[in-house]
Chain A
Amino acid sequence: MSAKIILEKRHNASPMMRYLSPLLAIGLTVIAGGLIFLAMGQPPLKALYLYFIDPLTSIWSLQELVVKASPLILIGCGLAVAFRANIWNIGAEGQLLIGALFGSSIPILFGDWQSPLALVCMLLLGALGGALFGAIPALLKNRFRVNEILTSLMLVYVAQLLLDWMVRGPWRDPHGYNFPKSVSFEGWHQLPIIIGNGRVHMGIILVILAVVILYWMMTKTIKGFEIRVIGGAPRAGAFAGFSQTRMVWFCLLLSGALAGLAGIIEVAGPVGQLQPSISPNYGFTAIIVAFLGRLNSIGVMMAGLLLAVSYLGGEGVQIELGISDKTTHVFQGMLLFFILMCDTLIYYRLRLLSSMPKLTQGGSLP
């Protein structure tokens, strides 16, 4: 006699639970995290406070939170649209880097051109660069049916090496002792700071705009409807006359442009120059952000802020309690694990099957 557990689809999964599942996952992460701190011999409440609450208690850390979250949100809400349409752009990191390269051409090649228009051009070029780089997997998919997951991912390495070559070679600061950095961006080549002498820059406004516009597009426009139909039921979309080919172009250009914009915002904002490392894998982390935010741009905004808390909190426990920086990864991993688990259990139920009514070959159940 053996028994096994199977997953059985629920006939009517609760829509409310679908939105509650991230909150449940956060709760479970906090509990599991507390247990881990306890097992490490650290005071669990203090550690949890430092991790989750402390980053929210000072004006400075709140500002830093916004700075850290903004590229994640900007990329994440573009990816959310593409993922909704079942188009898997995994290469946002590469599109970000190419956007940074395109946008940086203005301060590096036309350093004397100081005007607000220069900044606008930088931002536009950044978005253009990201979109062009996103167009490559779109073209390959539409023309040759090449899987966009593979091409977009592999193009990340191309972008990384291209950036590396540019800052070591042609775009190296001539007065920088041959170190791999471009000139520092000055004046109108940097995004103006909006609060005091912190690091919150004008780019934040663009992030909020992107969130609002994409939310409106997905909920109120035909385009949003088309994206949801093609993603949810491609055949129905085809009958409705929606073109899969045009959708591939639209999604990869849009998510690429937003990733490119995030890239130039990072370079013209917090980093202030082109260098070999400008993104701590924002393009990949944004994939987590998009899913955590339920592929909905308002949700993506919350998820981006939450991920930013996890980074800042991880630094906090490192400094205050001397815990390894791996904590951050463990917490992010737990968060993802619990959200997948909650989602699974919301759509499926566990059933214990005992092997009582044996199905014999060729026979049928009584």
Chain B
Amino acid sequence: MKQLVTTIIAVTAAVVMSLSATAADKLKVGFIYIGPPGDHGWTYQHDQGRLAMENTLGDQVETMFVENVPEGPDAERTIERLARQGTGLIFTTSFGYMDPTIKVAKRFPEVKFEHATGYKKADNVSTYSSRFYEGRYVIGQIAGKISKSGTAGYIASFPIPEVVRGINSFLLGAQSVNPDFKLKVIWVNSWFDPGKEADAAKVLISQGADIITQHTDSTAAIQVAEEKGVYAFGQASDMAAFAPKALLTSIVNNWTDYYIARTQAVLDGSWESTDTFGGMDMNMVRMGAFNNMPDDVKAMAEATTASITSGELHPFAGPIFAQDGSQAIGEGEVLDIGTLMSMNWYVQGVDDQLPQ
């Protein structure tokens, strides 16, 4: 009996030791999401990145996430909670988490933080984002070729530089093949609100847009397009399954490579605070399959994608005229990164007043 008890204690102790040993060896990686992973857009792609990273690095990592975290006083608590949970690396995947991330990072100097789409860095805070506007240029060109009415509808979320860049890049792409192309914009003031997104799509279509594109996270707009028989583009993830007849292509955000590389860097001890702004060249922005379009349009889209990837073509190469008619940049020049990062003006041809 006594021996049995001793054995049980010994076995229990061994199990506990081994459990805590594996727990200590693993790098815990946390993610903060603005929406649900099931949005099939922005958050979905981040979650795909997380899963792929977990798959690739296997036993070395353990991941966890918190979804639907509002960009306000709650964000700081949620991030701090992950830090207190013993995570070594935390990805905060929305712009509004910028200041909370910086604040928590100050209190946890040993934890590494990665903030998406912001501009504040620290010794233990990196920033990362993608040149989504490169994809916008490609779909703009496609729209310029496909549209019969010469008018596209754009469902926009918030008037921040990233979104304004996307609108301008889309229209510049369209005007490169149809100089008279017009763009109507509706602001829904939300990243994820399927009801509002669908309503906006209906209004844009009734105003004469025969192509819809959106900078919001749900699939609602392309489903409306499918129903109404107009064309649409997927945003953030490949949405072809949601609108097989309407979808021309999707701009796909690919976070997988970045998440694997950054987590690997923490494991190696080579992590440093960096600022990444990757595009098609780094495979952080990809185009989905080109469907429902004639072969010549497809060939053009493929060629444009290739020349943006190689760096030959820059969507914001001059000459570019602002909405008020003034010249923003002349022939042979390219808008500098500072102007792009703080863009708060439309190019010529946008049928909307930018909310100021």
Give me the interface of A with B, judged by CB distance under 8 Å. Answer: 60, 64, 67-68, 164-165, 168-169, 177-181, 184, 197, 199, 266, 269-273, 275-280, 311-312, 315-316, 318-319, 322, 324-325
B324-342 vs A, Cβ < 8 Å mask (1 yes, 0 no):
0000000000000000011
Check B67 against A180 for contact (C-beta < 8 Å): no
A residues less than 8 Å from B36 (CB atoms): 324-325
Check A168 against B356 for contact (C-beta < 8 Å): yes
Check B99 against A184 for contact (C-beta < 8 Å): yes
B residues less than 8 Å from A179 (CB atoms): 95, 119, 160-161
Q: How far is the CB of B171 from chain A (nearest CB, A)?
A: 19
A318 to B64, CA, bound (A): 9
Query: Is B343 an interface residue when CB atoms closer than 8 A count as contact?
Result: yes
Closest residue of chain B to A311 (Cβ to Cβ) is B74
A residues less than 8 Å from B95 (CB atoms): 179
B residues less than 8 Å from A319 (CB atoms): 30, 64, 66, 81-82, 85
Check A169 against B356 for contact (C-beta < 8 Å): yes
Check A277 against B70 for contact (C-beta < 8 Å): yes
B residues less than 8 Å from A318 (CB atoms): 65-67
A325 to B341, CA, bound (A): 33
Chain B, range 299-356, C-beta contacts under 8 Å to A: 341-344, 355-356
Chain B, range 183-199, C-beta contacts under 8 Å to A: 189
Check B72 against A277 for contact (C-beta < 8 Å): yes
B residues less than 8 Å from A322 (CB atoms): 64
User: Which label, helix, strand, loop or mixed, suits the secondary structure of the B interface?
Assistant: mixed
Beyond A68-B77, A178-B161, A178-B342, whether A164 also contacts B189 by CB under 8 A is yes
Q: Which of A64, A178, A276, A279 contacts B77 (CB 8 A)?
A: A64
- Indicate the size class of the contact surface on chain B: 35 or more
Closest residue of chain A to B70 (Cβ to Cβ) is A280
A271 to B99, CA, bound (A): 9
Check B344 against A178 for contact (C-beta < 8 Å): yes
Closest residue of chain B to A316 (Cβ to Cβ) is B81
B residues less than 8 Å from A270 (CB atoms): 73, 76
A290 to B62, CA, bound (A): 41
Query: Is B2 an interface residue when CB atoms closer than 8 A count as contact?
Result: no
Beyond A168-B355, A270-B73, whether A275 also contacts B82 by CB under 8 A is no
Chain B, range 41-98, C-beta contacts under 8 Å to A: 64-68, 70-74, 76-78, 80-82, 84-85, 95-96
Query: Is B159 an interface residue when CB atoms closer than 8 A count as contact?
Result: yes
B residues less than 8 Å from A273 (CB atoms): 99
Closest residue of chain B to A181 (Cβ to Cβ) is B99
Selected A-B contacts with CB under 8 Å, 8 pairs: A64-B77, A179-B119, A180-B159, A184-B99, A270-B76, A278-B73, A316-B81, A325-B67
A residues less than 8 Å from B343 (CB atoms): 178
Q: Which of A168, A280, A325 contacts B72 (CB 8 A)?
A: A280
Beyond A68-B77, A322-B64, whether A279 also contacts B341 by CB under 8 A is no
Check A280 against B74 for contact (C-beta < 8 Å): yes
Question: Which 4 pairs across A and B sit closest by C-beta, in order of nearness?
Answer: A270-B73, A177-B342, A178-B344, A280-B70
B residues less than 8 Å from A266 (CB atoms): 73
